[in-house]
Structure 1
Amino acid sequence: MKKIFFSLILMMATLQLFAQDNGVEMADKLRSDGKIYVIVICIVIILVGLLAYLFFIDKRLKKIEKENQIGK
């Protein structure tokens, strides 16, 4: 019962988001100038960099864990 009540409250909270105006002037201006693609490319580069960094850290951590298990 608590899960249903909580889900209902969350759904009602998101309904007011649909009532807002979707006219974001900055995004419309960037889209009309064609600069939105530059922003999207920058965001993708940042996310790929973060994912590569996390993969590198995970690889090093696994190596350290293996060395630690061998030493015991």
Structure 2
Amino acid sequence: MKNKLALFLMLLISASTYAQGEIDMATGLRSSGKIYVVVLVLLTIFAVLGIYLFTLDRRIKKLEK
């Protein structure tokens, strides 16, 4: 589980450094302050998905025992 988390974090960091170029849509969202809403929604989706997968993993382990 720790290896998967480390791999995910490395991919996330490499993707964020790769996407550092100027994009018109991102510049517009950043200037109007809406980029924070987009980031918050994405973080919420990923957090809920991670919690769901974690609880699903625990249930499957419980069924295996």
TM-score norm. by structure 1 comes to 0.60
Where does structure 1 lack aligned partners over 5 or more consecutive residues? 1-17, 67-72
- Aligned equivalent of 2:38: 39
Instruction: Work out the number of aligned pairs and report it.
Output: 46
Q: Report what 2:7 is aligned to.
A: none
% same residue: 48
Task: Quote the residue 1:65 is aligned against.
Answer: 64
What's the TM-score once normalised by structure 2's chain length? 0.66
The whole-number CA distance in structure 1 between the counterparts of 2:64 and 2:30 is 48
- Deviating 4+ runs (over 6 angstroms): none
Structure 2: runs of 5+ lacking an equivalent: 1-17
Structure (1 or 2) with the larger CA radius of gyration: 1
CA distance, structure 2, for counterparts of residue 56 and residue 23 of structure 1: 38
* Alpha-carbon RMSD: 1.4
